[in-house]
Amino acid sequence: MDYKVGRLSKQQDFKRVTPLRMVILYVLISGAWILFSDRLLSAIVTDPRLLLKLSIAKGWFYVAVMTVLIYVLVQKGREQHLARYITERKNAWAIVLLEKERAQVTLDSIGDAVITTNVYGNVEYLNPSAEALTGWTNAEATGLSLEKIFQIVNEETSEPLNYPIVRCLKEGDRVRLPNQAVLMHRNGTTMAIEDSTTPIRNRADVVIGGVLVFHDVSDKRNLMKELSHQAHHDALTGLPNRLLFNEYLNQALAQAACRQGKLAVLFLDLDRFKLINDTMGHNLGDLLLNVVAERIRETLREGDILARQGGDEFLVLLSEISHIQEVVTVSERILGVFSQPLMLDGNEVYISTSIGISLYPTDGSDLETLVKQADTAMYYAKEQGRNNYQFFTAGLNIKANQRLSTENSLRKALARGEFVLHYQPQVDMESGCIVGLEALIRWNSAEQGIVAPLSFIPIAEETGLIVPIGEWVLRTACAQNKAWQEQGYPHLSMAVNISARQFREPNFIKLVANILKEIGMDPQWLELEITESVAMQNGEASVEMLSFFKELGIRISIDDFGTGFSSLNYLRRMPIDTLKIDQSFIRDISTGKNGEEVITAIIQLAKNLRLKVIAEGVETNSQWSFLKTKQCNEMQGFLFSKAVTSEEMELLFVRPLNK
């Protein structure tokens, strides 16, 4: 299109009749006429009367000519004015058209979808992007009510959303859709959109329509959802993580507070999971966590939340409980899940869990307290032999505090010299002679008196204090053995218990070698006792570690045998000398609990592997006779002697036992 826009050309400008030009022209023509005609007349006419007549005629002629001239000029001026007016109007209209076309081109090429409506919300225009996103063409949509072509629903609830344009037109202000808005395409598919609606106002500031701008944010929203999911869920099991659990719990607490309701938090910790993870490999460990998570979830009611707290710990939120019996039922159902073995990659795996329970409002009213109390109760469940559930009680907190104070006292005990070793004889079944000793630690606490090892060794393990304490035990036991040998008492092996933490210390072998060297003790008299579970944890590393000890000439025994999950493969490859049958099996002799069968099997296994067997915790003659018939090599127990002080032990050396 070629529109002439702007001012007139110079040529046209020149031709324009202006009043000033007319006046100048008039003066010039009149002056010239007067001068010229008067002189000419006087020159050619001499008769005064004729001259007068001709002058009058000349005057009239002049008037007539001027009248015509003025008429022509005025007429010409009018025409020019009209022409100019029309040109200007034309130009103005051309500008409007141009602007409109420009706006149209701009709207059409915008990536965002744009819909304009009139003040009643009827569609006036859809740009191509809006056509693509809605499935309606501009021609089809024009004149229709916006609701017809632009249907939006809440993504989560599928509820229709209020049309922002209605509010925008009503309030005359900019309106945005909520974050969960999805647009329904004409073909029924949905897409996440973000939009804003702005009113269109005329010069008088009156709303005359609205413009809706929106675009597809499906990718962005999917990414946000993915990120939010990752931040709130455990990557392995897909369960809510601690963060999301906290959100659920806080919500549930707020609701319970309003309705004066009750809720329960269950803290679950799988029993001996680390052992399974280490022995069977991390892939199977991960698989186990997934299977366990699935099984627990199946036992829960709809609305209950199961979350993975981390490692082998899970949290369960039972909201809206009306009676404590419901919590008991759920806990028992969860424990029941573990009564059957899990099939993992063709392996049958037995695992159990310990559950601690805290209740709102009795045990606490906030998130931290409830989780902490459930955790404390879970520890108590572990102490009660695992595979059970325990409710939190105020007494447990006292216990937890006691643990803390024990930890503090333990730190000082070593420096104050409050530990002592007692020794328990190991007796040959045939001869009844003492053939070895086991060093067992006691804590002679200034505040609590004599404390048994099971009350403080686990705390020392957890805090790492077992490392210096264990070193002290090793050095003291070796020094005592050497001293007895030098005093002429029989040469006996000295068994020393080694905790998991000590066993995994990088410089442990060096430490043992140095102590032996320092004391000048022949390594053949030292026997390291490692529990079955510690030995089997990370079997490869244990085989290597034990081989180093073997090379030094130190003896190795497997303590509490029968309570862990021994792999026969590792048992065969480990350079072990002795198996110590756990006292729980000895206790089960003659009680109808199959103690005999287990003991017989262990002795048989030891014989096949050419290992010595010691029975621990022998208290009765019938236990002793049974073990003797089964050809158990040695025994250790109250029937012969409990663990005694070094002075009492010296008396036992000189007064041989009669069994």
- Can you give the binding site for Mg ion, defined by CB under 5 A? 497, 529, 559-560, 616
Cross-strand pairs, 118: 209
Choose between 151 and 584: whose C-beta lies nearer to ligand C2E.
Answer: 584
- Judge contact between 374 and 265, C-beta under 8 A: yes
Q: Two tokens at 223?
A: 């990414």
Choose between 529 and 634: whose C-beta lies nearer to ligand C2E.
Answer: 529
d(CA 161, CA 178): 9
Sequential DSSP letters for 575-609: ---EEEE-HHHHHTTTTTSSHHHHHHHHHHHHHHT
- Judge contact between 463 and 501, C-beta under 8 A: no
What does each C-alpha distance from 447 to 422, 444, 457 come to in angstroms? 20, 9, 17
Sequential DSSP letters for 606-619: HHHTT-EEEEE---
Q: Two tokens at 600?
A: 């017989």
How many binding residues for ligand C2E (CB under 6 A)? 23
Q: Single out the segment in contact with ligand C2E by CB under 6 A; choices: 75-83, 126-134, 332-340, 635-643.
A: 635-643
Q: Is 93 in the site for ligand C2E (CB under 6 A)?
A: no
Could you say which residues in the range 533-592 bind ligand C2E, by CB under 6 A? 559-560, 583
- Judge contact between 337 and 387, C-beta under 8 A: no
Q: Two tokens at 506?
A: 């990088």
In the chain, the amino acid numbered 400 is A
Q: Single out the segment in contact with ligand C2E by CB under 6 A; choices: 145-153, 358-366, 596-604, 631-639.
A: 631-639
Q: Is 453 in the site for ligand C2E (CB under 6 A)?
A: yes
Query: Site for ligand C2E (CB under 6 A): which residue of 452, 541, 568, 601?
Result: 452
The least distance separating Mg ion from the CB of residue 460, rounded to whole angstroms, comes to 15
Choose between 363 and 616: whose C-beta lies nearer to Mg ion.
Answer: 616
Q: Is 407 exposed, middle or buried (0-12, 13-18, 19+ CB in 10 A)?
A: middle
d(CA 595, CA 615): 12
Could you say which residues in the range 475-504 bind ligand C2E, by CB under 6 A? 497, 499
Q: Two tokens at 389?
A: 């559930």
The least distance separating ligand C2E from the CB of residue 640, rounded to whole angstroms, comes to 8
d(CA 534, CA 174): 69
Q: Single out the segment in contact with ligand C2E by CB under 6 A; choices: 68-76, 246-254, 383-391, 637-645.
A: 637-645
Q: Is 445 in the site for ligand C2E (CB under 6 A)?
A: no
Q: Is 527 in the site for ligand C2E (CB under 6 A)?
A: no
254 binds, among ligand C2E, Mg ion, none (CB under 5 to 8 A by kind): none
In the chain, the amino acid numbered 11 is Q
Q: Is 464 in the site for ligand C2E (CB under 6 A)?
A: no
Q: Two tokens at 29?
A: 């023509």
457 binds, among ligand C2E, Mg ion, none (CB under 5 to 8 A by kind): ligand C2E
Choose between 152 and 421: whose C-beta lies nearer to ligand C2E.
Answer: 421
The least distance separating Mg ion from the CB of residue 339, rounded to whole angstroms, comes to 28
Q: Which residue is nearest to ligand C2E (CB)?
A: 637
Which value, in Å, is the radius of gyration of the alpha carbons in the chain? 52
Q: Two tokens at 381?
A: 């469940």
Could you say which residues in the range 338-397 bind ligand C2E, by CB under 6 A? none
275 binds, among ligand C2E, Mg ion, none (CB under 5 to 8 A by kind): none
Query: Site for ligand C2E (CB under 6 A): which residue of 199, 240, 436, 637?
Result: 637
Choose between 134 and 493: whose C-beta lies nearer to ligand C2E.
Answer: 493
441 binds, among ligand C2E, Mg ion, none (CB under 5 to 8 A by kind): ligand C2E
**Which residues fall within 8 angstroms of residue 381, CB to CB, at 6 or more apart?**
354, 355, 356, 388, 389, 390
User: Using omega within 30 degrees of 0 as the cis cutoff, is the peptide bond preceding 361 cis?
Assistant: yes
Choose between 406 and 497: whose C-beta lies nearer to Mg ion.
Answer: 497
Cross-strand pairs, 117: 123, 210
Q: Is 269 in the site for ligand C2E (CB under 6 A)?
A: no
499 binds, among ligand C2E, Mg ion, none (CB under 5 to 8 A by kind): ligand C2E
> Nearest to residue 528, comparing CAs of 473, 570, 480?
473
240 binds, among Mg ion, ligand C2E, none (CB under 5 to 8 A by kind): none
The least distance separating Mg ion from the CB of residue 490, rounded to whole angstroms, comes to 21
Rounded to 5 degrees, what are φ and ψ at 422? -110, 160
Choose between 457 and 571: whose C-beta lies nearer to ligand C2E.
Answer: 457
Q: Is 278 in the site for ligand C2E (CB under 6 A)?
A: no
In the chain, the amino acid numbered 313 is E
Choose between 308 and 580: whose C-beta lies nearer to Mg ion.
Answer: 580
Q: Single out the segment in contact with ligand C2E by CB under 6 A; choices: 185-193, 537-545, 569-577, 632-640.
A: 632-640
**Dihedral angle at the C-alpha atoms of 203, 205, 208, 212, nearest 10 degrees?**
110
Q: Is 52 in the site for ligand C2E (CB under 6 A)?
A: no
Q: Single out the segment in contact with ligand C2E by CB under 6 A; choices: 77-85, 287-295, 610-618, 644-652.
A: 610-618
The least distance separating ligand C2E from the CB of residue 319, rounded to whole angstroms, comes to 42
> Nearest to residue 154, comparing CAs of 175, 176, 174, 184?
184
d(CA 646, CA 376): 39
The least distance separating Mg ion from the CB of residue 617, rounded to whole angstroms, comes to 8
Cross-strand pairs, 265: 317, 358
Query: Site for ligand C2E (CB under 6 A): which residue of 237, 246, 354, 424?
Result: 424
End-to-end CA, the chain: 124
- Binding-site ranges for ligand C2E (CB under 6 A): 424, 440-441, 452-454, 457, 470, 473, 497, 499, 529, 559-560, 583, 616-619, 636-638, 643
